[in-house]
Chains A and B, each alone.
Chain A
Amino acid sequence: MAEPNQTKTTQISLSTKIKRLAFDNSVPILFIIICLLGVYFSQLPAVFIVNQLLTRITRNSFLVLALVIPVIAGLGLNFGIVIGAMAGQFAILIVTHYKVAGFNGFMLSLLLSTPIAILFGILTAMLLNRTKGQEMITSMIAGFFANGVYQFILLFLVGTLIPMKNPDMILSRGIGIRNTIDLATKTGIKYALDDVLKYPFFEVLVVAAIVGIIALSINYFLKKKKGSGEVDNFKFVTLFILMALVMGTSIWVLNSNTLLKTVKLPIVTVLFITVIWVFNELIMKTKLGQDFRTIGHDMEIAKISGINVDKTRTIAMIISTVLAAWGQIIFLQNIGTLSTYGAHVQIATFSIASILLGGASVTKATSGQAIIGLILFHTLFIVSPKAGNNLFGDAQIGEFFRAFISYGVIGVALGLHAWNKRVQAMRKHLDTDAP
Chain B
Amino acid sequence: MNETINNIVKRIGLPRLIIGLLFLATCLTAVMIDLPFGLIVSDILRRFGMFGVLSLAMVPAIQCGTGPNFALPIGIICGILGTLIAIEFNLTSPLLGYGFISAIIISLPFAVLSGWLYGLLLNKIKGSEMLVATYTGFSIVSFMQIAWVTLPFKHPEMRWPIGIGLRVTVSLASTFGEVLNKLWGFSIGKVYFPTGLILFFLACCAVVWVYSRTKAGIEMSAAGANPKFAAASGINVDKNRIIGTILSTFLGAVGVIVYSLSFGFLQLYLAPLYMAFPAVAAVLIGGASTSKIKISHVIIGTFLFQGLLTVAMPVANELVPEGNLSEMLRVIVQNGIILYALTRIGGES
Residues of A within 8 A of B (CB): 127, 130-134, 136-138, 140-142, 144-145, 147-149, 151-152, 155-156, 171, 173, 175-176, 392-394, 396-397, 400-401, 403-404, 406-408, 410-411, 414-415, 417-419, 421-422, 425
Contacts and interface: CB of A to CB of B under 8 A. Distances in A.
Contacts of A425: 127
B241 to A, nearest CB: 13
Prevailing SS type, chain B contact patch: helix
Contact of A132 (B323, B334, B347): B347
A175 B320 contact: yes
Interface residues of B, number: 46
Interface string B152-172: 000000000000110000000
Nearest to A416: B125
B199 interface: no
Interface of B: 121, 124-128, 130-132, 134-136, 138-139, 141-143, 145-146, 149-150, 164-165, 277, 320-323, 325, 328-332, 334-336, 338-339, 342-343, 345-349
B145 A130 contact: no
Contacts of A155: 323, 325, 328
Which 8 interchain pairs have the tightest Cβ spacing? A148-B331, A418-B125, A418-B128, A145-B335, A411-B135, A148-B332, A133-B349, A400-B145
A142 B132 contact: no
A400 B149 contact: yes
Which of B127, B128, B130, B165 neighbours the largest number of chain A CB atoms within 10 Å of its CB? B128
11 contacts: A133-B349, A137-B342, A141-B342, A149-B332, A152-B328, A156-B328, A173-B322, A397-B149, A400-B149, A410-B138, A422-B127
Prevailing SS type, chain A contact patch: helix
A137 B142 CA distance: 19
A394 B164 contact: yes
Contacts of B165: 394, 396
A397 B150 CA distance: 9
Contact of B149 (A134, A138, A144, A396): A396
A147 B149 CA distance: 31
Nearest to B125: A418
B151 to A, nearest CB: 12
A142 B339 CA distance: 7
A411 B74 CA distance: 14
A290 B150 CA distance: 51
A400 B269 CA distance: 10
B338 A130 contact: no
A286 B320 CA distance: 53
A403 B142 CA distance: 6
A411 B138 contact: yes
A422 B132 contact: no
Contacts of B343: 127, 130-131
Nearest to B70: A137
A155 to B, nearest CB: 6
A141 B321 CA distance: 28
Nearest to B348: A133
Contacts of B347: 131-133
Contacts of B338: 141
B339 A127 contact: yes
A176 B323 contact: yes
Contacts of A418: 124-125, 127-128, 131-132
B331 A151 contact: yes
B335 A148 contact: yes
Nearest to B347: A132
Contact of B134 (A133, A140, A171, A393): A140
A404 B141 CA distance: 8
Contacts of A415: 121, 124-125, 132, 135-136
Nearest to A142: B339
Contact of B332 (A130, A138, A152, A417): A152
Which of B134, B135, B146, B277 neighbours the largest number of chain A CB atoms within 10 Å of its CB? B135
Given A148-B335, A156-B323, A422-B127, A411 B345 contact: no
